[in-house]
Amino acid sequence: MRPLRGLSLYGHYLLLGFRSQAEYRVDLALMIFGVTVLNAVDVALLAVILTRFPALGGWSFWEVAFLYCLYLAALGLENTFLLHLVDIDELIRDGTLDHMLLRPRPVLLQMLAKDISPRDLAQVGLGLGGAWYSLHRLGLALGVAHWALLLAYLVAGAAVLGGIVLAICSVGFWTVRSRVFLAGTGELQEVVQHYPAHVFGQWFVGLVTLVLPFAAINYYPAAALLGKPTVVSGPLLALLPFLAAAGCLTAGGLVWRLGLRSYLSTGT
Amino acid sequence: MTSAVGHGGRVLLAFAWQGARTSTAYTTAYWMELLNAAVRVFAVVTVWAVLYRSYPQQFPVTGGQTKTYAAVTQLTAVMLTWWSGAHHRIARQVRDGTLYVDLLRPVSYPFQLLCWELGESAARLGLVVLPAGIPLFVLLGLGPPGSAAGGLLSAASTVLSFVLLYECNFLVGLVVFRTLSLKGVQHAYHALITLLSGLWIPLWLYPGPLAAISQVLPFRSIFYTPAAVYVGYLDGPAAVRACAVQLGWAVVLWLGLEAGWAGTRRALSAQGG
């Protein structure tokens, strides 16, 4: 299938999904309210800690808030467009994947274009708004180039997350259940979102840089934009989120292809 | 009377056993829960250790007490799984219509759910909290209770925490009978617990206004009281008073729960075929 045709079909599917979800206005409003309240409370807790203690691992409250918001925006972006990657094991179990394989369109496209989540778009807005406000409170006025870099980091962060999710969920081709492995990384993601990674030691930084590079979603981008020291520096620090994104997408794509090639259907 | 108590005990054990079996049905999920519990405790304890090392003068307790408080609250949270308790079960049953099965049983619905939750919490205590908590206590250099009496009182306080949390969850779950959905309400409720229960930050570090709000609500009794008694921040008469406040809330909320359930039950109608 020609890429442009695929892209237009993807856009069309997403629009349909958005419209169907926007029909349930009260549900949507409640979900957006919920996401806002929970994230506001998270930031309030960070504020309680960092107004009493001037810094955590050398990062001030507004720097930590910026770190948190970057992750929130990247997570929202990933969930908006790639949310249904987590359904891979369910599609295998209930046989829906067989139906998808029969259609003359890429399976991944069909899966991702199922619908779009306006709730997660709200998360992107909250994250970006919070990041802007944090920078404002830090007295940093980013120029256009820096904002473009921030947005590029956001896309890279979503790609890192998407690649990791695709790789982990594709394990479902062999284990039938895979969402549970993703759940196993839940607390690790929470930790990286809330606190600067170096607070937990060099081994932890290594883990979230080289094994499961969640730090490339917010820690390295925030350090690069705020000028904070990390284990890497210079051009490598600025490029690390993009390298991690390329690595994660490649790894995710490989596991997905291997899984799809070895897929023998449920046989029902 | 004795036979009634014996019957009640058997019912409780049967539901508790069911709850325990449910929470251990999937082996991989179990290992992931263990991993998540360990990561969570390690992270929160490390953050407080770093803060204590940097600003010891800001704390009214020792570094060991601060770290232990963090571990105890997180392990209690894992045991009670406050984010997915009775309110979620009620919402699921109302949505898929399976509530009637529980209503047909000759045991009150709130009591059934209480026993179910008790079983799940007991299973998590034995299978997640202790296997993750004991090595972490040793590795992170966390301490035993401040005193033997404090340890016993903290254990009793944890039981009351379980009851209190169950009652709060059940009362939130009753909203589903009117709205058919937990959305919104659940987030607001979880936000209140996150902010006011002392789960993430010891309440002795809270600024005045926030501390004052937490004083008049039951949420501080869920995580703060058992942990503060365990580390000895609350001891002697203060600890007994805190546990009495917990008991008072448990009684008040139980009365509210019974009244709320009676009203809901009267208005409830099941249809189907």
Q: For position A58, what pLDDT does the model report?
A: 93
Q: Which of A151-165, A192-206, B54-68, B177-191 has the lowest mean pLDDT?
A: B177-191
- Write the residue in A30, A38, A45 that is nearest to B190 by C-beta: A38
pLDDT at B273 over 60: no
CA distance B133 to B215: 29
Query: Looking at residue A104, what is its pLDDT?
Result: 83
* A31/B186 CB distance under 8 A: no
Is the predicted pLDDT of residue B30 greater than 50, yes or no? yes
Q: What is the pLDDT of residue A2?
A: 63
pLDDT at residue A1 in the model: 54
What's the number of domains chain B is made of? 1
Q: Would B106 be classed as within a structural domain?
A: yes
Q: Residue B19 has what pLDDT? A: 67
Give how far Cα B265 sits from Cα of B92, B108, B262, B269, Å: 17, 11, 5, 8
Shortest Cα distance from A132 to chain B (angstroms)?
24
Tell me the mean pLDDT in the region B159-163.
96
Helix (H, G, I), strand (E, B) or coil at A59: strand
| Domain assignment of residue A42, yes or no | yes
pLDDT-flagged residues of chain A (< 70)? 1-4, 266-268
Report pLDDT for B208. Answer: 87
> CB–CB of A184 and B35 under 8 A?
yes
B263 inside domain: yes
Which stretch of A246-255, B10-19, B29-38 has the lowest confidence by average pLDDT?
Answer: B10-19
Kindly state whether A12 is in contact with chain B, defined as any CB-CB distance less than 8 angstroms: no
Number of folded domains that form chain A:
1
pLDDT of residue A254: 97
Is residue A267 situated within a structural domain?
no
Q: Which of A260-264, B116-120, B124-128, B150-154 has the highest mean pLDDT?
A: B150-154
The two structure tokens encoding residue A169: 């969920």
- Which residues span the domain enclosing B138? 8-267
Q: How far apart are the first and last CA of chain B?
A: 40
Q: Is residue B3 situated within a structural domain?
A: no
Q: Is A107 on the interface with B (CB under 8 A)?
A: no
Task: Give yes or no for A151 touching B (CB within 8 A).
Answer: no
**Mean pLDDT, residues B47-73 taken together:** 94
The confidence band for B5, taking pLDDT boundaries of 50, 70 and 90, is low
- Beta carbons within 10 angstroms of residue B226's beta carbon: 28
Residue A36: domain span: 3-262
Query: Which pLDDT value is given to residue A267?
Result: 54
Taking CA atoms, what residue in A is nearest to B207?
A: A48
pLDDT exceeds cutoff 90 at B224: yes
Query: Which of these ranges, A174-178, B105-109, B181-185, B242-246, has the smallest mean pLDDT?
Result: B181-185
In a domain, B273, yes or no: no
* C-alpha B62 chain-centroid distance: 26
Looking at residues B32-57, what average pLDDT do you find?
Answer: 92
Beta strand residue intervals within chain A, DSSP E:
55-56, 59-60
**Which of B42, B184, B206 is facing A48, going by the closest CB pair?**
B206
Helix, strand, coil percentages (3-state) for chain B, rounded to 5, are 80, 0, 20
- pLDDT over 60 at B2, yes or no: no
Selected residue with higher pLDDT from B265 and B68: B68
For residue A124, being part of any structural domain is answered with yes
Residue from the list B32, B36, B183 with its beta carbon closest to the beta carbon of A27: B183
In angstroms, the CA A96 to CA A220 distance is 39
Q: Determine, for residues A184 and B26 on separate chains, whether the beta-carbon distance falls below 8 Å.
A: no
| Cα distance between residue A108 and residue A123, in whole Å | 24
Q: Cα–chain-centroid distance for residue A71?
A: 7
pLDDT band at B3 (very low <50, low <70, confident <90, very high): low
Asked if B28 lies within 8 A of A177 by C-beta distance, the reply is yes
Q: B272 lies in a domain?
A: no
**Among candidates B42, B50, B210 on the partner chain, residue whose Cβ is nearest the Cβ of A56:** B50
CB contact under 8 A, A187 and B186: no
**Chain A CA closest to residue B29:** A180
Residue B253, pLDDT > 90, answer yes
More confident residue, B163 or A178: B163
The answer, for A41 touching chain B at a CB cutoff of 8 Å, is: yes
In a domain, A268, yes or no: no
Q: What CA–CA distance (Å, rounded) separates B74 from B67?
A: 11
Confidence of residue B119 (pLDDT cuts 50, 70, 90): confident
Q: What is the mean pLDDT of chain B?
A: 89
Residue A88 covered by a domain: yes
Beta-carbon separation of B183 and A190 below 8 A: no
Confidence of residue B153 (pLDDT cuts 50, 70, 90): very high
pLDDT at B270 over 80: no
| Tokens linked to B195 | 């902010």
ipTM over 0.85: no
